Structure 1
Amino acid sequence: MEETDPRARKSYHHGNLREALAEAALKLVEEKGPLGFTMAEAARLAGVSPAAPYRHFRGREELIEEIARQGFEIFADRLERVVDDPLLSALTAFSMAGQVYIDFARAHPGHYAAMFESGIGLAGDPGLARASDRAMAVLVRLAERLMAHLPAARRPPARMVANHVWALSHGVVELFARGAPGSRAPYSAEEMLESGTGIYLRGLGIVPQ
């Protein structure tokens, strides 16, 4: 007789199978990585038959896409709380976006892995593409707000600035915030990101030297 996975859900409510499978897959991604589990394992952990996942997902890639979509939504929610905070200056809000990225990667390792380490593409899933675009749109808003004081002719493209800071944040997370290879550096991920962002913004003339 097949043993029941002790992590498996005891039951799920009717109509909630999709969420139960995504929850199970998220746990597996955290344990084994986005490519280290099978649909059968996700089904077993959700407490359903091996055939049940295919009512909602054509395969593992679609299941990972759902986890990634959830991750982008969580990330965008966190960014929007920063951009909508009336007590934060434009520079503080923009700088905090990088900290949001670090905090998200640490608090949601499964979502982060599905978003950036699974090899999925955005084009094949409209919901995933919308969620990713939403997160980027918040960063663009932050960049526009930060540069509003500059004459239009001197303003760098806001999307370029947003993309650069996203790339910088991602690099810092990968090298300094996730255990290797920079975990033994004499400075924290937060210090690396703050100094890098400051150098970048001063180099563009967005903030004073």
Structure 2
Amino acid sequence: MPKQGYHHGNLRQALVEACLALIEAKGPTGFTLSEAAREAGVTPAAVYRHFAGREDLIAEAARQGYEIFADLLEFAYDGGRPTVLSAFEKVGRAYLAFARKHPGHYVAMFESGISVNRTPELAAVSSRAMRVLERAAEALSEHIPADRRPPPQMFAAHIWAMSHGVVELFARGSPGTRAPFPPEDLLESGIGVYLRGLGLIPPDR
């Protein structure tokens, strides 16, 4: 029996929501397109009116996840207010919050094996999310002379990797893992240590 049958409205979106539920329950490779159809309460043939295969369905779930993700990061950064450093830290906390609140989207985006370049729409929205960190990195590096300034894209990618690592190891309740400190504190202190090491913020901040 499907958990929630499709009765009216947008069948495409009903299938995405079924996909997200199955990803949470079974992982991105643990279900078939027929199971997604059954979860949505439609026949397998109906799925192919909207998606050529399971990977296309997961790619759409990932695209929608990136839309939510980018919106959250942009809201958290808020133009670098009140300071770029505090905004950077808020962006990190938003990353953790997204992973907890939207686990199906998170897995579709980062653990499904679907390339962000699978569709132009997916590539564009994933770039929008990364651009939030790059803007913050550019703002932080403005006080460093240009000839000694590390590429903002490089340390933005490092901060993204640090955020992702904290999520994977400590913020998702994975079996066998236990954070020695709250994940938010781990990420905030890690960002501070990293940026100080690059000379991007003064030691007494």
TM-score (norm 1): 0.91
Deviation at 1:146, TM superposition (A): 1.9
What is the aligned partner in structure 2 of residue 135 from structure 1? 129
1:73 correspondence with 2:74:
no
What is the aligned partner in structure 1 of residue 4 from structure 2? 8
* Pair 196,117 (structure 1): closer, same or farther in 2 beyond 3 Å: same
What is the aligned partner in structure 2 of residue 146 from structure 1? 140
Deviation at 1:126, TM superposition (A): 1.3
User: Which residue identity is paired with 1:145?
Assistant: A
Deviation at 1:9, TM superposition (A): 2.4
Distance 1:108 1:69 in 2: 13
> Does the 8 A contact of 2:80 with 2:87 survive in 1?
no
What is the aligned partner in structure 2 of residue 88 from structure 1? 82
1:19 correspondence with 2:13:
yes
Aligned runs of 1:35-184 on 2, under 5 Å?
35-84=29-78, 87-180=81-174, 183-184=177-178
What is the aligned partner in structure 2 of residue 198 from structure 1? 192
Distance 1:151 1:167 in 2: 26
User: Which residue identity is paired with 1:190?
Assistant: E
> Does the 8 A contact of 2:20 with 2:105 survive in 1?
yes
Secondary structure of the equivalent of 2:112? coil
Distance 2:89 2:77 in 1: 11
1:81-135: CA deviation from partner (whole Å, max 9, x where unpaired): 1222574211100121111111100000000011111111122211111111110
User: Which residue identity is paired with 2:7?
Assistant: S
Secondary structure of the equivalent of 2:163? helix
What is the aligned partner in structure 2 of residue 32 from structure 1? 26
* Pair 152,115 (structure 1): closer, same or farther in 2 beyond 3 Å: same
Greater mean alpha carbon deviation, residues 179-188 or residues 165-174: 179-188
Greater mean alpha carbon deviation, residues 93-102 or residues 78-87: 78-87
Distance 2:195 2:128 in 1: 23
1:9-56: CA deviation from partner (whole Å, max 9, x where unpaired): 24022xx22111111111111111111111111111212111111111
Distance 1:108 1:139 in 2: 20
Which consecutive segments of 4 or more residues in structure 1 shift more than 4 A?
none
Distance 2:54 2:66 in 1: 18
> Does the 8 A contact of 2:73 with 2:91 survive in 1?
yes
Task: Choose between structure 1 and 2: higher helix proportion.
Answer: 2
Distance 1:89 1:192 in 2: 20
User: Which residue identity is paired with 1:12?
Assistant: H
How many residues in Structure 1 have an aligned counterpart in Structure 2? 203
Secondary structure of the equivalent of 1:48? coil
